Amino acid sequence: MNIKSVYFDNNATTMVDPAVLEAMLPFFSERYGNPSSMHDFGGAVAADVEKARRQVADLLGAENDYEIVFTSGGTESDNYAIMGTLAFFREKRHVITTRVEHPAVLNLCKRLEREGYRITYVPVDGEGMLDVEFLKKAVDDDTAVVSVMYANNETGVIFPVEEIGAFLNERGVPFHIDGVQAAGKIPIDVKKIGCDMFGISGHKLHAPKGIGALFVKRGTRIRPLLYGGHQERGRRPGTENVPAIVGLGKAAELALRYLPQEAELARLRDRLEKGILEKFGNVSVNGSRTHRVPNTTNVGFEFIEGEAILLYLNEKGIAASSGSACSSGSLEPSHVLRAMGVPFTAAHGSIRFSLSRFSTQDEVDYVLSALPEIINRLLEISPFWDNKEKKGKPITV
């Protein structure tokens, strides 16, 4: 096996697909017109922007192309959806989200709390599954918007958005989905889900960074975040980032084409997960193993610390990520794992491997062959591991 590097951190960002790059390149050189211009030089480019809009609409199952608004990425999409809805329904002061959202939503909600909004954070169970009944009970006449992620970035766990959508439609409450970690990994049909807004990020599905989109269902009451020109029908002014938009369109088209291969991706992920569970006695999977996206596994190694594992993996050319305190820059392990009630003994040693359609079986096998030396070395160093008995020492927390 002649492998120099393995990138298993695709929930953080993905490689730009060569076909996406190829589609983008002309828009940096000969096709640099402004889509708003009245001459053909710009008009032709405007047609490419509209083509990309259609490609994204197809990926999300949107009925109308104009329901797609291009943004700078997932964070802006989330902020536009929530802030834009609140700006319309000024009299309503209640927002519902979950305890395990991405910081793009969580930190916005914390900010809103400081501004006097009432925020309900819906809990999850030990498998990372959302307490939907809790969410339903939390909805009241003052609820302006409900914002829930489709798939969790750390565990890959998928939330029952259709059930939530049906309930909220009945109640007439705007429903926003952060779909960043779902797009390109599982089939999406915004009509079937019944959501009003659905955000995606380009760099999570093999498009470049700095481009995203928000599906805004026809008739949704929402105000723009930015004010300026007429671009995006006034919903997101500013000269369009044409190369990136074209790239996102192409990436969406490819994502749709490759979706049938998700079972193969899940097989690779399962091979990795099964291999890890078989090799080590001090490891468990964080999150549901049945309701999750096909590319993600989050495993918690007991008695050793996640950042140290990442550093040792990095030495072997393997890229992954961790929910440990030390790796995050915070002093506590990931808010997702804590919300799930994952014991500290495993949360501090959590490692997320996230694959992509470019991942190979050889790469999986390389990671499995590299891990024992790393894990055993760190166990040897750990004060919580009995090197003679080859097991963890009793820990009183």
Partner 1 sequence: MWEYTDKVKDLYKHPQNVGTIENADAVGEVGSIVCGDALTLYLKIEDDVIKDAKFQTFGCGSAIASSSALTEMIKGKRVEDAEKITNRDIADFLGGLPEQKMHCSVLGREALDKALANWRGITLDDAHDVEGEIVCQCFGVTDALIRKVIRENHLKTVEDVTNYTKAGGACGSCIPKIEDILNDELKTSPGVAAAPAAKKPLSNIRRIQLVEETITDVIRPILQKDGGNIELVDVEGKQVMVALRGNCAHCLTSDVTLKNLVQEKLREFVEDDIEVVEAR
Task: Name the minimum Å distance from CB 311 to partner 1.
Answer: 5
The conformation of residue 294, written as its DSSP 8-state character, comes to T
Contact with partner 1 (CB under 8 A) among 113, 140, 315, 362: 315
The conformation of residue 159, written as its DSSP 8-state character, comes to P
Decide whether 81 or 304 has the Cβ nearer to partner 1. 304
Which helix (H) or strand (E) element contains residue 88?
Answer: helix 74-88
Decide whether 8 or 303 has the Cβ nearer to partner 1. 303
Decide whether 3 or 311 has the Cβ nearer to partner 1. 311
Long-range contacts, 232-235 (Cβ 8 Å, 24+): 232/69, 232/70, 233/66, 233/69, 235/69
Residue 179 · residue 251 · CB < 8 Å: no
Contact with partner 1 (CB under 8 A) among 5, 330, 360, 361: 330
Q: Does 64 bind partner 1 (CB under 8 A)?
A: no
Task: Name the minimum Å distance from CB 335 to partner 1.
Answer: 12
The residue assigned the tokens 């002014």 is: 237
- The catalytically annotated residue of 326, 335, 344, 384 is 326
Closest among 232, 263, 262, 250 to 84, alpha carbons compared: 232
The conformation of residue 151, written as its DSSP 8-state character, comes to B
Decide whether 268 or 325 has the Cβ nearer to partner 1. 325
Convert residues 340-359 into a mask of x (bound to partner 1 by CB under 8 A) and - (unbound): ----xx--x-----------
Q: Return the bridge partners of 285, or none.
A: 299
Task: Name the minimum Å distance from CB 374 to partner 1.
Answer: 11
Which helix (H) or strand (E) element contains residue 373?
Answer: helix 361-381
Q: Does 304 bind partner 1 (CB under 8 A)?
A: yes
Decide whether 34 or 328 has the Cβ nearer to partner 1. 328
Taking CB under 8 A as the binding criterion, the range among 116-124, 157-165, 175-183, 302-310 that sits at the site for partner 1 is 302-310
Residue 147 · residue 179 · CB < 8 Å: no
Residue 308 DSSP SS3: helix
Task: Name the minimum Å distance from CB 138 to partner 1.
Answer: 24
CA gap 107, 81 in Å, rounded: 14
Tokens describing residue 239: 């000269």
Decide whether 94 or 348 has the Cβ nearer to partner 1. 348
Contact with partner 1 (CB under 8 A) among 380, 389, 390, 391: 380
What is the secondary structure of 97-125 as a DSSP string?
A: EETT--HHHHHHHHHHHHTT-EEEEE-B-
Contact with partner 1 (CB under 8 A) among 18, 116, 383, 394: 383
Decide whether 270 or 307 has the Cβ nearer to partner 1. 307
Task: Name the minimum Å distance from CB 281 to partner 1.
Answer: 17
Task: Name the minimum Å distance from CB 343 to partner 1.
Answer: 9
Q: Does 384 bind partner 1 (CB under 8 A)?
A: yes
Closest among 297, 334, 292, 354 to 157, alpha carbons compared: 292
**How many residues in the shown chain lie near partner 1 by CB under 8 A?**
27
Q: Return the bridge partners of 373, or none.
A: none
The answer to whether residue 326 is catalytic is yes
Contact with partner 1 (CB under 8 A) among 116, 219, 260, 329: 329
Residue 310 · residue 368 · CB < 8 Å: no
Q: Does 325 bind partner 1 (CB under 8 A)?
A: yes
Task: Name the minimum Å distance from CB 12 to partner 1.
Answer: 12
Contact with partner 1 (CB under 8 A) among 46, 166, 225, 326: 326
Strand order in the sheet with 350-354: 283-285, 296-301, 350-354, 321-322
What is the secondary structure of 336-347 as a DSSP string?
A: HHHHTT--HHHH
What does the CA dihedral 87, 89, 90, 93 come to, rounded to 10 degrees?
-110
Contact with partner 1 (CB under 8 A) among 327, 334, 350, 356: 327
Residue 144 · residue 168 · CB < 8 Å: no
CA gap 199, 149 in Å, rounded: 9
Contact with partner 1 (CB under 8 A) among 19, 259, 311, 368: 311
Q: Does 1 bind partner 1 (CB under 8 A)?
A: no
Binding region for partner 1 (CB under 8 A): 303-305, 307-308, 311-312, 315, 324-327, 329-333, 344-345, 348, 380-384, 395, 397
| Residues assigned a catalytic role | 326
